[in-house]
A and B are shown apart, each in its own frame.
Chain A
Amino acid sequence: MPVTRGFFRRREQGPEGRIPPGQYDTGSSWPVLTAEAAPRIRPEEWSITVDGLVEEPTTWSWDEAHRLPSATYSGDIHCVTTWTKLDMVFRGISVDDLLAAARPRPEARFVLAHSSTGYTTNLPLEDVTDGKAWVVWEAEGKPLTREHGGPARLLVPHLYFWKSAKWVSRLELLDEDQQGFWERNGYHDRGDPWREQRYQGDA
């Protein structure tokens, strides 16, 4: 592709190895991007279900989820709209603990995450296991706000942030990949920021 006449890098490079290609450091701001009106969900109405190809379909209420071991993610997040936010701290529970209780069947290979709004996003099962994914209700030490997916959202920080479904309510395990909302709307099935897998058609 051609060099753009008159365009030069003006931004600092950012900390080495932290800013994926085509991304920039958004600094202290945390932009909001949502395709629907943000729902009002009270914690006592919220629950998280793991079902589909599992031995023990299980639902946790807000209180039950809070009795699971607390888990924290400290690190970076990357939005496909090209901002990267460094050194975020999220607190919640590990998806590994939910899966351990629900016990995926051997044929389960993909996850379709559902939100109470109807939003969906698809992920390979291996992208939400072994300490790579969380359900979180706190960001930067404060309850997750409604526009950022509160009371609780999925967090899969090694993939573009649309995979981290806001208002998450259900993880459905599947044997075949089934595209979610943005994926059907032209975005990539995996969404690895380091490989710039932004849109359908990216390698």
Chain B
Amino acid sequence: MSADRSIDDVVPRETTWTTGTIITKEQPTPDQVRLRLHVDDRQGHDPGQHYVVRLRAPDDYTAQRSYSVASDNDDPLVELLVERFPDGEVSGHLADVAEVGDVLEVRGPIGRWFRWDTRTPAVCLVGGTGVVPAVSMLRTARRLDRRDLLRVAAVGRSPEHLPYAAELARAGALVAYTRHDDGDRPRGVPTAEELAPLAAGAEVAFVCGSPRFVALATPLLIGAGVDPTTIRVEQFGATG
């Protein structure tokens, strides 16, 4: 990592709980929920940051989870993509119970490490619902007309398991399916040969996905020539 972009090179910013109203709710697949929220007293976000959603029961019991933001800061709404986990306490509610017009407690943006500054050449290797921060980065890059700065490789089992697959492909991302032949590309994780041109010139690398994906993706990037100290990781698990 170069001296001017150290691990500590961020400014603190306080956030408080506020409310967000569900404006649209879509379920692209049974396991995915796409929510677009109007957030009261909203603070600006950088691509890669996340929001916390907190649910409150009548007895004041609460459950909260973090979800990456898919939208660009210029979007009037905040878009979250939620993966529905089996028995997921929060994701199950958002998938099965929440409706347009419901008000949720939200807090954000959180996370000032896994975010793209929109100026530094970057490569993303993201898997499954881990594509969400990369979608935000791509949307922001498109608005700023800086698509040249950002290369994305997205990995999913099949098109049904890769949120935003069509949007990613349209934006020029390498889309790799591990259990689906898409005609152009045999199934399998991206190879070092595929990743090397995407990684060339990148000064920061973003890896996002399940712990299993992260364990697979990090050595792939290093094998493609990425300096390990430039890799920023965001991983999530079946925490509901």
- Chain B residues, CB < 8 A from A37: 207, 218, 222, 228, 231, 233
User: Are the CB atoms of A81 and B14 closer together than 8 Å?
Assistant: no
Answer whether residue B11 sits at the interface, using C-beta atoms and an 8 A cutoff.
yes
Within 8 Å CB of B66, what residues of A? 81
- Evaluate whether A22 and B63 lie within 8 angstroms (CB atoms) in the complex, with A3-B57, A118-B6, A184-B10 already known: yes
Do residues B105 and A4 form an inter-chain contact, with CB atoms below 8 A? yes
Cα–Cα, bound, A82→B234 (Å) = 16
Q: Which of A5-13, A41-49, A51-59, A65-73 participates in binding chain B?
A: A5-13
Q: Are A199 and B239 in contact (CB under 8 A)?
A: no
Which residues A19-38 have CB closer than 8 A to chain B? Answer: 21-22, 24, 26, 29, 31-38
- Asked whether A186 and B12 contact (CB < 8 A) given A1-B105, A2-B105, A35-B114, the answer is yes
Mark interface residues in B111-139 (1 if CB within 8 Å of A CB, else 0): 11110000000000000000000000000
Q: Does A164 sit within 8 A of B, measured CB to CB?
A: no
**Alpha-carbon distance A184/B115, docked complex (angstroms):** 14
**Closest chain B residue, CB of each to CB of A21:** B62
Q: Is there contact, CB below 8 Å, between A32 and B237?
A: yes
**A179 contacts across to B, CB distance below 8 A:** 12
In the complex, A82 Cα to B235 Cα: how many Å?
15
User: Contact at A184–B64, with CB atoms within 8 Å?
Assistant: no
Is the interface on chain A under 10, 10 to 19, 20 to 34, or 35 or more residues?
35 or more
**A181 and B113 contact, Cβ closer than 8 Å, known pairs A6-B98, A24-B63, A200-B12:** yes
Q: Is B16 an interface residue (CB 8 A)?
A: yes
In the complex, the chain B residue whose C-beta lies closest to that of A81 is B239
Q: Mark A148-192, 1 if CB is under 8 A from B, else 0.
A: 000000000000000000000000000000010111111000000
Instruction: Tell me the minimal C-beta distance from A40 to chain B in angstroms.
Output: 10
Q: Which of A4, A31, A147 contacts B104, CB < 8 Å?
A: A4
A5 to B93 Cα, complex, angstroms: 10
Q: Is B56 part of the binding interface, using a Cβ–Cβ cutoff of 8 Å? A: yes
**Is B239 in contact with A83, judged by CB distance below 8 angstroms?**
yes
Question: Does residue A201 face the partner (Cβ distance < 8 Å to B)?
Answer: yes
Q: Looking across the interface, which residue of chain A has its beta carbon closest to that of B92?
A: A10
**Contacts of B58 on A, CB cut-off 8 Å?**
3, 8
- For A33, list chain B residues within 8 Å (CB): 235
Q: With the chains together, A36 CA to B234 CA distance in Å?
A: 8
**18-76 of chain B: CB within 8 A of chain A:** 19, 54-59, 61-66
Beta-carbon contact of A185 and B57 below 8 Å: no
- The answer to whether B235 and A32 have CB atoms under 8 Å apart is yes
A31 B237 Cβ-Cβ under 8 A: yes
Find out whether the CB atom of A82 lies under 8 angstroms from the CB atom of B63.
Answer: yes
Residues of B in contact with A (beta carbons under 8 Å apart) = 1, 6-8, 10-17, 19, 54-59, 61-66, 89, 93, 97-99, 102-105, 107, 110-114, 207, 211, 214-215, 218, 222, 228-229, 231-235, 237, 239-240
Residues of A participating in the B interface, judged by any CB pair closer than 8 Å:
1-11, 21-22, 24, 26, 29, 31-38, 81-83, 118-120, 147, 179, 181-186, 199-201
Given known contacts A81-B239, A118-B1, what 7 new A-B pairs fall within 8 Å (CB)?
A9-B57, A11-B63, A81-B66, A82-B63, A83-B239, A147-B215, A184-B112
